[in-house]
Amino acid sequence: MKAPGKGSGWSFRRTLVFWWILFLVIQQAERLFLLPETLSIEVPAAGVLAKTLLTGLRADLITSTLGAVVATILAGAIGALLRAIQTWRGLPQQAGAPYRFGLMAASGLIGLLLLILLTVDMGYYRYNQQHLDFVFFEYLDDLWGTVEAGLPKAQAAKQTDAELHEGGKWGPRLMGFLLAEVAAIGAWWLCFRRVVEPALDRWGALSRHHTNMVLVLGLVAGALGFHHQGPYAIRIANISSTAYYTLAQNPILYAAESLRAVIDSRLKGAQNWAQAPGMDALPLEEAVRIAQDRLGRGGSFPYPSYPLVQEAAAATGVRLAQPANVLLIFIEGLDRRYLGRTIEGIRVTPFLDRLRADSVFIEHFFSNGVQTSRGLFASFCSYYPRQGTSAMKTRYTHDYLCLPSLLRRGGYWTEVVISQHRDLNRLQLFMARNGLHQLLDESDFPAGAERLGLGITDGALFDLLGERIEALQRAGRPFFLSTLTLGMHHPFTVPRVHPEVRALQSEPDGYVAALRYLDVEFERMFMSLLRAGLLKNTVVLILGDHGRHEPVGRTEVEKQVGHFTVPLFIWLDESLRTPQTYRPRTVSGVASQVDLAPTILAVNGLTPHISPFLGRELSCVLIRDCLQDNVAFLSSVYDDLIGLADRDGLLLYSLRNETLYQTDLKLEDPPVSRAIDDPTVAARYRRLLALYVSANVLLEQNRIWSWKALGAKL
């Protein structure tokens, strides 16, 4: 066979096009090789599969183009070096030969590296249905560190040895993959020689200038993936299934982002975080010891590298007879201070007030953070929000143990429906790595869905949610379904169809009209589902993702605490109610979002043997009061504020002003300033600092959880 470009004369264009498309073919071959495995996990609709393959093609074209550009640059450097050597040694020079050799050598090297990377990615995808991620690079770091230091084999090295000795398991798959790649490369070679190369020659003969221009434009378009948003368009691809969203991602782009996160974590994270406010208040070791004393529930903390991972204590709460469906509803900015209010003769939340009487309602429930991404992170993963930019946005490549992953392992279908863009707070990237089967966003709503304000209305959201509940009930598989409303976010633009909503529009505070609209639409959906029997065998949890964004309150302290004052309703369908499982009432005690995941798992008998959960399993609250010693940790990036809520009230510390305040849980008494060494609050203050320091530093160091080290122990 002749190498491309060895015809009557060397052609830069022919050689570049050959390798450019070859890089694309190699990547496409891997995606098609992985497709049957993904199909075995989930059978998609034809539209989802087509969108997956098209998105993957665009993603692969981006990296193929970048590879071709890098090869061209390297070819110029190699060619110039070879020509300089020829001139220096007085060798005869053939026009173009050094550059042809440089382009072939550089392209061949890039192709080989690409094939090696894809081979590793193929094996890793088989292992955990993910492309090369943070865990993989952490594994390499462990392996290289052991070899470089000349230490005895660590777990990474032992695992590698064990895997290499299991050739009977991975050998046939590796051979199959390499044969598929060889077949794809051979097919492209034949296609190029018989079809593409003659066409390029004919076209080039007509107009070399136009051909070069088309080639340059093609490279520019390819580098963008034929989309003005470039690689970002791949990351936010509208693919609701997380399995097929992952398949559509490009392994190189995915690995590059994970590698960047590893480097950032290793070189910058710990150094930068050491300078954060309050980090010097306690040494990490002491903070961890105090946090373990506070968080311990009778279990032990046996893993020094992951010091807040705890073995589960004996179960003492409520267990349902069989796994129940879980409907987790986050209401944007729902502030419990506004429940039960009457304004201008209008009851603002009549349905939620009635539902409260039929639910277990926790009177002193708090969000752990003050923004949506922080509330979702705390609720799904039972871990305190990061004090800086939220973990969901900036640390999504780290290892976590989250509710969807554990429910999925327990046989649940896991799904989230939102009425905004799927890239909200990097939600899709985070949830795809942490157990979600499917994410539906604004693009999945009917074309005529009503839009107002920031996006699709809550009424339209509840319509789609009802349809999803009906479909999931028909499927006969236990499901976890979560959603997040939007209408109660500023500027509080909601439909004015209901007369009481219209009447409340005259109020200076637009929040109350938006809340009345939410109550109307939520009642419509909930009662419709109840009448149709679609809440059978379902536990419904309703809470705010955080309190009000706006500072509202009589005192400065109440304005700050108002960011956290959310309600929690726990409602069980009649099919689940027995005297041993449910007693509706208002519970006077403290709880927070980190308590949700362990509670949901506990009532369904899915509590893991070990976990890094910072929350408490509260299933006991369904039948008896059991929150006497529970605590809630609060973290506000608005005010650089941290706080601790417990049976003694609220203790708040300003990291910015280094001031300490104490007040009651109902925010009725004036706040009292305290000295940090005041014996009445000194122990609580140290516990507050310990939770702040340990949780934040361990998150930054990626020492919350490790699937590699701890996953098998679940």
When mean pLDDT is compared across 220-229, 623-632, 702-711, the lowest value belongs to 220-229
Q: Contacts for 190-193 with beta carbons within 8 Å, 24 or more apart?
A: 192/4, 192/17, 192/18, 192/21, 193/1, 193/4
> Are 547 and 368 spatial neighbours (Cβ–Cβ below 8 Å)?
no
- Section 126-141 average pLDDT: 69
Pair 234, 51: CB distance under 8 Å: no
91: exposed, middle or buried (Cβ count in 10 Å: 0-12, 13-18, 19+): exposed
pTM: 0.78
Residue 634 pLDDT: 97
Q: What is the pLDDT of residue 263?
A: 66
Query: CA–CA separation, 385 vs 368, rounded Å?
Result: 7
Amino acid 147: pLDDT = 46
| Rounded distance between C-alpha atoms, residue 356 and residue 350, angstroms | 10
- What angle is formed at CA 676 by the lines to CA 671 and CA 677, rounded to 5 degrees? 125
The least confident of 6-15, 316-325, 381-390 is 6-15
Region 643-650: what's the mean pLDDT?
95
Residue 434 in this model has a pLDDT that exceeds 80:
yes
8-state DSSP, 241: B
pLDDT band at 148 (very low <50, low <70, confident <90, very high): very low
* Residues 110 and 82: beta-carbon distance below 8 Å: no
- Model confidence at 71, pLDDT cuts 50, 70, 90, reads confident
Mean pLDDT of all residues in 139-157: 50
| Chain segment 556-568, per-residue pLDDT in tens | 889 899 999 999 9
Q: How confident is the model at residue 266 (pLDDT cuts 50, 70, 90)?
A: low
**CA angle, 116 then 120 then 121, to 5°:** 115
CA distance 498 to 191: 65
Other C-beta atoms lying within 10 Å of the C-beta of residue 145 = 13
Give the Cβ contact number of residue 443 at 10 Å: 10
Q: How many CB atoms lie within 10 A of CB 247?
A: 25
For the segment 284-299, the average pLDDT, to the nearest whole number, is 88
Distance CA 64, CA 74 (A): 15
pLDDT digits (tens, 9 = 90+) for 329-364: 999 999 999 999 999 999 999 999 999 999 999 999
Nearest 5°: CA angle at 500, between 496 and 503? 80
Specify the length of the chain in residues.
714
pLDDT the model gives residue 267: 54
pLDDT at 689: 95
364 vs 389, more confident: 364
Top pLDDT among 108 and 601 is at 601
Reduced to 3 states (helix: H, G, I; strand: E, B; else coil), residue 679 is coil
Measuring CA to CA, which residue among 439, 487, 480 is closest to residue 236? 439
693: tokens are 């320091």
Give the pLDDT of residue 282. 87
How far apart CA 418 and CA 42 sit, in angstroms, is 22
Predicted confidence (pLDDT) at residue 450 exceeds the cutoff of 70 = yes
pLDDT at residue 127 tops 70: no
- Give me the percent of the chain exceeding a pLDDT of 70: 87
For residue 681, the one-letter residue type is V
Peptide bond into 598 cis (omega under 30): no
Task: Note the pLDDT of residue 329.
Answer: 98
What is the average pLDDT across 627-652?
Answer: 92
Residue 640: burial class (beta carbons within 10 Å; 0-12, 13-18, 19+): middle
Q: What is the rounded distance in angstroms from the CA atom of residue 112 to the CA atom of residue 130?
A: 22
Lowest mean pLDDT among 185-199, 270-284, 409-423, 554-568: 270-284
- The answer on pLDDT for 2 being more than 70 is no
Q: Mean pLDDT throughout 625-630?
A: 91
The pair phi, psi for residue 416, each rounded to 5°, is -130, 135
Residue 204 confidence (pLDDT)? 58
Q: Which of 139-143, 439-443, 649-653 has the lowest average pLDDT?
A: 139-143
pLDDT above 90 (res 205): no
> How large is the greatest C-alpha to C-alpha distance in the chain, in angstroms?
99
Average pLDDT, the chain: 87
Closest residue by Cα to residue 204 from 480, 428, 11: 11
Q: From the options 3.40.50.2300, 3.10.20.30, 1.10.600.10, 3.40.720.10, give the CATH code of 276-583+597-713.
A: 3.40.720.10
Has residue 245 got a pLDDT over 80? yes
152-197: pLDDT as tens digits:
444 445 455 555 555 666 788 889 999 999 999 999 999 988 888 8
Tell the residue number behind the tokens 């305190």, with chain if given: 384
- Give residues with Cβ within 8 angstroms of 134, minimum separation 6: 258, 261, 262, 397, 398, 399, 702
User: Among 51-55, 100-104, 469-473, 571-575, which is the least confidently predicted range?
Assistant: 100-104
For residue range 14-65, what is the model confidence (pLDDT) as tens digits?
888 899 899 999 999 999 999 998 898 888 889 889 999 999 999 999 999 9
Domain extent listing, the chain: 12-262, 276-583+597-713
**Rounded distance, CA 21 to CA 13, Å?**
12
Strand partners, 415: 438, 481
The arrangement of strands across the sheet holding 632-636 comes to 632-636, 641-646, 649-654, 659-663, 672-674
Q: Is 262 left (phi over 0), alpha (psi -120 to 50) or beta?
A: alpha
- Quick one: pLDDT at residue 153? 43
pLDDT tier, 570 (very low <50, low <70, confident <90, very high otherwise): very high
Task: Give the per-residue pLDDT at 273.
Answer: 53
Q: Is the pLDDT of residue 454 over 90?
A: no
One-letter amino acid of 350? P
Q: Residue 675 above 70 pLDDT?
A: yes
3-class SS at 551?
A: coil
